[in-house]
Structure 1
């Protein structure tokens, strides 16, 4: 069953329960009110009957005639009974009634006023003291009129309930169609997607906030998947490129070695060369596994991070003739000792320093060791092309390159790999533009 039909059924069920409860409450409240009103009316009729039958000798003829007219308008004499102290009929035309028992009469004498409701009549009895003696005046009224009113009310409530239920069903279906329309459009758009246009974002012209959030999150999710596919493609390209070089060197060395017999010394040189190629291949695999997130377990020990950076600086000066200024402003030497992997950190700092050298065209680089809030911060600043503001949020992603780096060679893995390494060491990496030009990289240990 579709959700919109299920919601309509839920609405109808809830409305039916509510209107049933309301109808029952209305019915019984109306019934009780009408019964109360009928007894009040009957009580006044009993008093009027007492005045008519028992006070004739104490009022004037005109007053008695007025009482008679009122009594005739309100109640028939066949519904009046006056009983004396001996329980004998004193007046009234009410015929024998099984509901008027001696107990009922005694209750009236005791309580002064008693009401009785049966299937057919309302009864009211009052105890009346007169100069002629003590009397019980009983009046009754048929329930037929009340039963007819209650029957009419019941029919009205049933009709209103049925019509209300039908209206709620139709209206809920209408609202469900309106509410469900954006979802149907989303489903239709998704069905139209295939391998060629799966990354096309969903579009809805008119919708409500929840659906807009759904579309926004779906488009964000598809965008992330598209980025993941792009990264995977780039990663495969990177793997192919990086593995091809050492494998080609291995195969070439083996082929050349196999062309003729060689001396033991030559074989030893070849073995050393092959070992170097194998180590390069292993290092490349480790970097790729680190970049892809497959390898996250490395041997950690207590090391000096400043010694790692000095090694990086030495290599940069040796291989790139880099100009690097170092400024150490750390009083607490314990901050320079961290628990980590020396090779991984050297690789990360090599990437950052290498980027600073490359993108600044070998201009001077500033490395500062600072102690801020009892934490070690290493700031690496260059005077290069810098990073565009809109690229800063994505610059740490795999294979992402800044828009202004098109004239420089690179694969877009240096910062992402460094970020992965620092994350493994619980080290924060922050990158910002170094006004007026260049980039500043902050490593917070």
Structure 2
């Protein structure tokens, strides 16, 4: 069931329940009030009856005639019975009433008055003492007007309930339809949307409510989806290029060798080229396996390690690979504070990440010195890697963490575009914040916050 229909159904049920409860309360209140008023009328009739039957000898003819007139008017269509102490009918209707039992007569004598209802018959009794004796005066009457009013009230309430249900169903359906109009429009837009064909966003009216927040979040998700699709496309494109180049070189070298017999030196030179390209392929595949493992969060066991020791291992390795590039380390850390250098991590991954960053700095430094600065930043370690080389453009900087993406400054430099992707993923998995700023022709600065 659609939310719009659920809203209509629920609002209708709630209205029906509330109206039914209200109607029952109104009906019961009306009946009780009407019965109370009718019993009061019977009480006055009972008093007149007592005076009519028992006070004739004590009143003047004029006063008695007034009482008689009122009595005859008030007692029309009513049954009157006066019971003496023995429970026998002394005045009024001669036929006994099965609803008037000895227990009721005792209750009347004990309480002085008593009222009750049996079916549609109303009974009101008083106990009256006179010089002729003590009598229980019981008035029995039906109230056809009240019965008609009850029937009419029930009809009015049922009619009101029916009309109210129709109105609330139509109104709630219309309101819910209007309220969910933006949602239906969005659904139509989503149905016709092809996220692979280009960048798409949902268009919606500014309502400043939860729906607008939902649409904004959806557009944000669409933006991220589009970016991921573009990254995947770039990944496929760059990966194809990176894998194709060494494979093409291997095939070309082998085809040249097979065209005719060659000298031993030529075979040796060709084999060296093939081996070099095969090693390049092997390195690309190794990096892809590392990156895939990081994406799947298949972390190795972490342990608390000293970051400076990992850094020295990286620098020792790079010292042999980039002999012409000087790497300076500036130690701006307080003395005897080894706790600042301790970090819970996977040491092999941190080694790979630092190696890739510092190697890039050395690779693109144009033989200028690379500076590494260790600083205490608000009680936490920060490492800054800065070179004065070619720099990175803003356009390339936006894609620097994408696998196989290589900037305009890197086409003439050896590499496969996976180093930064692996490094940023490792830092992200370890909760290490990375900040990169660069100016073309002036160099690049990378800061790591542990």
TM-score (norm 2): 0.79
Which digits, 9 at most, give the CA deviation of each residue in 1:51-90, with x for residues without a partner?
Answer: 3332334445554444444434433385332233344444
What is the distance in 2 between the residues matched to 1:299 and 1:124?
A: 94
Is the Cα–Cα contact under 8 Å of residues 78 and 139 in structure 2 kept in the other structure?
Answer: no
Tell me which residue corresponds to 1:418: 423
How do residues 61-72 of structure 1 correspond to structure 2 at under 5 angstroms?
A: 61=61, 63-72=63-72
Tell me which residue corresponds to 1:179: 179
Tell me which residue corresponds to 1:34: 34
Gaps of 5+ in 1: none
Q: Which one of the candidate residues 307, 327, 331 is aligned to 1:327?
A: 331
Tell me which residue corresponds to 1:260: 261
Structure 1 position 156, deviation (Å) = 0.7
Which digits, 9 at most, give the CA deviation of each residue in 1:113-160, with x for residues without a partner?
Answer: 222312242111111111221111111221322211111111111101
Tell me which residue corresponds to 2:446: 441
CA separation of 1:98 and 1:52: change in aligned 2, threshold 3 A: same
Which digits, 9 at most, give the CA deviation of each residue in 1:355-409, with x for residues without a partner?
Answer: 55677766554312345677543222456798999999x66642699xxx98634
Structure 1 position 420, deviation (Å) = 1.5
Tell me which residue corresponds to 1:284: 284
Is the Cα–Cα contact under 8 Å of residues 360 and 384 in structure 1 kept in the other structure?
Answer: yes
What is the distance in 2 between the residues matched to 1:389 and 1:267?
A: 45
Tell me which residue corresponds to 1:5: 5
Tell me which residue corresponds to 1:237: 237
Is the Cα–Cα contact under 8 Å of residues 124 and 138 in structure 1 kept in the other structure?
Answer: yes
Structure 1 position 169, deviation (Å) = 1.2
CA separation of 1:310 and 1:2: change in aligned 2, threshold 3 A: closer
Tell me which residue corresponds to 1:205: 205
Residues matched between the structures, number: 436
Q: Secondary structure at the match of 2:435?
A: strand
Is the Cα–Cα contact under 8 Å of residues 121 and 142 in structure 1 kept in the other structure?
Answer: yes
Is the Cα–Cα contact under 8 Å of residues 366 and 382 in structure 1 kept in the other structure?
Answer: yes
Q: Secondary structure at the match of 2:383?
A: strand
Which digits, 9 at most, give the CA deviation of each residue in 1:250-301, with x for residues without a partner?
Answer: 22343344442555x8867765654443222111122234445567668889
Q: Which one of the candidate residues 318, 323, 326 is aligned to 1:318?
A: 323
CA separation of 1:110 and 1:439: change in aligned 2, threshold 3 A: same
How do residues 35-74 of structure 1 correspond to structure 2 at under 5 angstroms?
A: 35-61=35-61, 63-74=63-74
CA separation of 1:386 and 1:170: change in aligned 2, threshold 3 A: farther
What is the distance in 1 between the residues matched to 2:426 and 2:236?
A: 21
Is the Cα–Cα contact under 8 Å of residues 77 and 141 in structure 2 kept in the other structure?
Answer: no
TM-score (norm 1): 0.80
What is the distance in 1 between the residues matched to 2:15 and 2:262?
A: 97
Is the Cα–Cα contact under 8 Å of residues 290 and 420 in structure 1 kept in the other structure?
Answer: no
Tell me which residue corresponds to 1:118: 118
Structure 1 position 233, deviation (Å) = 1.4
Tell me which residue corresponds to 1:431: 435
CA separation of 1:198 and 1:133: change in aligned 2, threshold 3 A: farther
Tell me which residue corresponds to 2:133: 133
What is the distance in 2 between the residues matched to 1:363 and 1:250?
A: 35
CA separation of 1:206 and 1:67: change in aligned 2, threshold 3 A: farther
Is the Cα–Cα contact under 8 Å of residues 77 and 93 in structure 1 kept in the other structure?
Answer: no
Structure 1 position 443, deviation (Å) = 2.8
Q: Secondary structure at the match of 2:127?
A: strand
